[in-house]
Amino acid sequence: MLGSDAMRDKVYFLTDAHLGAGDDSLLREHQLCRFLDTIRGDARMLILLGDMFDFWFSYRHVVPRGYIRFLGKLAELADDGVELHFFVGNHDMWIFDYLEQQMNIVMHNEPEFMEIAGRHFLVGHGDGLGHLDRHYDRLRCIFRSRMNQRLLSMLPEWITFGIACGWSHRSRLSHGDDVARYLGDEREGIVIYCREQMLAVSIDYCVFGHRHTPLAREIVADNGAKSLYVNVGDWLVHRSYAVFSPSEGLRLCDWMQTADNSLSV
C-alpha cells in the first residue's frame, strides 16, 4: 500500500550496481528490486548516481537485453508519482533519452546543485572530477563527444557492445585497488571538486558515487565552509544506499544489515 503524500518525504540515493557485470548480476538485480519495493511507501524522490548498468548504449530502435526487472520497478515508481533522477556514470553515459521518454526520468550529464526540503545538495556520479587523471579527462571528452557517439551508433550492435563491454571490464580491473579505499582529501578528485564548489556556494550535503566506497565525513573548504560528504558506495559489493528525510537529515545505510537475504536465484 502506498503512503500518503505527507508520509512520502524521503529521498533515496543509489549508485554503481553495474548490472550485467559478474556472475551475480541477476541476484543483484533481484535484490535491487526488493529494495525498491520497500521504499514505495515513503519515497518522494529516487536519485540514481550512475553506473547502474555496466554498459548501456541506446540505439534509436534497439535497447540492451536484460534488466527488465529493474526497469520495471523504476517504471512502477514513476507511475506512483516518485520523482526519478539519473546522473549518468562513466559506464552508462550512452543512455541518452530512453529512460527519459519511457519513465520521465530527469537525466543529468554533470553534477548538479539541488535544493531538497530547504537543504542544499551537490549531487553527481563523480568520474573526472578534480582533474587528477589527465588521460581519463581526454578519454571522457572522446566518449561524450556527440560526433563520436553518432559514429558509434552506425556500427552493428554486436561490434559496439563487444568493444564497450571489453572496455568496461578493463576499466574495473584497472581501478580496482583505488576504488576499494579512501585516498585522503588531497587525492580524492570528488572531494577536491566539492571543496572548490564550497568556496562560492553554501552546500549542506555532497552526495556522489563512482568510488565504490561507502563513506560519510565532514569536509572543509579553504574558506572554512563545511559540508557532509557522502559517497553512497555501490550495490556491486556493499549493497549500500543513502536516504534523506527532513527530520533525520542524510544517512548512509547498509541494506544487508536489515534485509531478509534468503533469496537465491
Q: At 191, which helix (H) or strand (E)?
A: helix 189-198
As a whole number, mean pLDDT of residues 215-227 equals 96
- Does residue 211 lie in a domain region? yes
* DSSP track, 43-70: EEEEEE-S-SBS--B--SS---S--HHH
pLDDT per residue over 69-119, tens digit each?
999 999 999 999 999 999 998 877 677 777 888 888 999 999 999 999 999
Rounded Cα distance, 204 and 228, in Å = 6
**Which of residues 229 and 95 earns the better pLDDT score?**
229
Look at residue 262 in the predicted model and tell me its pLDDT.
36
Would strands 205-208 and 226-231 be described as parallel, antiparallel, or unpaired? parallel
Mean pLDDT of the chain: 83
Number of domains in the chain: 1
Q: Which domain holds residue 215?
A: 10-258
- Is the pLDDT score of 35 beyond 80? yes
Answer yes or no: is pLDDT of 3 > 60: no
Assign residue 138 the CATH number of its domain: 3.60.21.10
Inside any domain, residue 5 = no
Identity (one letter) of the amino acid at 93?
Answer: M
In a domain? residue 61? yes
100 class by beta-carbon count within 10 Å (0-12 exposed, 13-18 middle, 19+ buried): middle
Is the predicted pLDDT of residue 265 greater than 50, yes or no?
Answer: no
Would you say residue 3 lies in a domain? Answer: no
261 — pLDDT class (breaks 50, 70, 90): very low
Q: Is residue 107 part of a domain?
A: yes
Cross-strand pairs, 165? none
Cell output for 239: 549493497
Inside any domain, residue 120: yes
pTM comes to 0.84
In a domain, 263, yes or no: no
State residue 234 phi and psi, 5-degree precision: -165, 170
**192 domain-assigned:** yes
Write the DSSP string, 168-179.
HHHHHHHTHHHH
SS3 label, residue 218: strand
